[in-house]
Amino acid sequence: MLSRVADSLYWMSRNCERTEHNAHILSMQLITILEASEQEISAGNDWETVLDICTSKNSYYSFYEALTFEKVVDYLTFSKENPNSMANTVSFARENARITRNSIPNELWEVWNEFYLYLQNAQKAKNCSLKEIHDFLNNIKKSSFTATGVIDSSMTRDLPYHFMKIGKWLERAEKTALILNVFFQKSKHANQSAMDDFFWRSALQFVNGSETYFKHFPPVINPRSVLQFLVSDLSFPRSIRYCMEHVWEAVKGLESGKVSHYSWQMYALLDTMMTEFNEEYISNLADEEVEDFLIQSLNRCIEFGKVFSKTYYLVEREHSV
C-alpha cells in the first residue's frame, strides 16, 4: 500500500474520531452549563476548558477578545478559522476519504460525503440557535455511528482497516490523556475539595464514562478511582489502556504478529506504555507523582504517533490536538 494512502486513512480515522468526541464534549457542556452554579462556571472557566480540550484557547483568543457563548460555540462547530472545528475536521476526514476511496467501503465514503453536503447547507443557513447546534451535534453522532457500523460490519480486515483502527484508537487515547491533564491542572489550581468533585465529574462526562464509572464505584467521586478508571480500566472503551491495547492489536495485524528491524521501536514503545498504564503501576504512584505521570502519558501517545508514522514512511504532519 502507498504510504500516502496509509497516511490518509490514518488521518481520516483520527479526524472522524476527533469530530465525534468534540461533538460529545460540546453537547455535554451545553447540558452542564444549565445546571452549574455561577461560581462553578466562573471559577472553572468552563469554556476555556472546553477550548483547551477541543482545540486551544490561545488560538481562540487570537481571533476574539472575549469569551461569549455564540462565539465559542461557533468556533467549535462551524468556524473556518479553527482547524479543529467540527466543520473542518469533518471536511478533512471527507477529503481523506475521497483520496482513499479505493481502499474503503463505498458506503463509508457516502456517509461522510452526505454529512459534508448537509454541512454545506447548514453553514449557509446558520444562525446558531441552540436547536440548530443540537441538530448539528446529533447529526455528527449519527453519522459517526453509521460510519463505525459500516467499518465494523463490512470492511475486510487487511491493511486499510488496521491503519484506520490505529488512527481511531490513538486519537482516543490521546484525548483521554489530554482531558485528564486539563482537569488535573484545574483541580490543582482550584484548591477546594467541592470543586474537585465538579472537575472529576466533568472529566468523566467528557469521556462519556460517568455511567460506567458509577456502576463500578460508589456514587462519591474519588480522584484516585477516576484516575485508575480512565487510565487503566480494561472494560471501558475510552480508557488509555483499552485504546492502546487496540492499537497494539492493529499493529500486530499489520505486521502479522512479527517484529522486524523496521518495527521494533514501535513495539518497544507499546511495551513501555502497556506497563505504565497498568493498574498496579498507577496504584503505586505517590500523589505528587501523578502530575508528571499524566504529562508523560500524553507525551507517550504523541510520541507513538511519530514513531508509527516513521515506521510506515507516512508523511509527518503538524500535530494538532
Give the footprint of another protein on this chain (CB under 8 A): 1-4, 6, 95, 98-99, 101-102, 106, 109-110, 113-114, 117, 159, 312-314
Compare residues 101 and 224 and give the one whose CB is closer to another protein: 101
> Nearer Cβ to another protein, position 131 or 258?
258
**In terms of CB distance, is 106 or 320 closer to another protein?**
106
For residue 208, which of 26, 12, 10, 5 has the smallest C-alpha distance?
26
Q: Which of 85, 96, 93 is nearest to 122 (CA)?
A: 85
> Please, what is the minimum distance in Å from the beta carbon of residue 318 to another protein?
18
Structure-block grid coordinates of residue 135: 441538530
Measured CA distances, 146 to 101, 133, 149, 306 (Å): 17, 20, 5, 29
Q: Shortest approach of another protein to residue 97 CB, angstroms?
A: 9
Give 5 or 26: the residue with its C-beta nearer to another protein.
5
User: Least separation, in Å, of the C-beta of 211 and another protein?
Assistant: 35
| Residue (82 or 100) nearer to another protein, CB | 100
Q: Whole-number minimum distance, CB 116 to another protein, in Å?
A: 8
**186 three-state secondary structure:** helix
Supply the minimum distance, in Å, between the C-beta of residue 132 and another protein.
Answer: 23
Spatial distance between the Cα atoms of 234 and 321, rounded to a whole number of angstroms: 24
For 35, other C-beta atoms within 10 Å of its C-beta total 7
> At its nearest, how many Å lie between another protein and the CB of residue 60?
26
Q: Which is nearer to another protein, 76 or 108 (CB)?
A: 108
Residue 198 or residue 304: which is nearer to another protein going by CB? 304
Distance in Å, CB of 167 to another protein, minimum: 14
DSSP 16-80: HHHHHHHHHHHHHHHHHHHHS-HHHHHHHTHHHHHHHHHS-HHHHHTT-SS--HHHHHHHHTT-S
Q: Are 228 and 261 in contact (CB under 8 A)?
A: no
Spatial distance between the Cα atoms of 222 and 50, rounded to a whole number of angstroms: 22
CA distances 66 to 48, 129, 246, 303, Å, are 11, 20, 41, 34
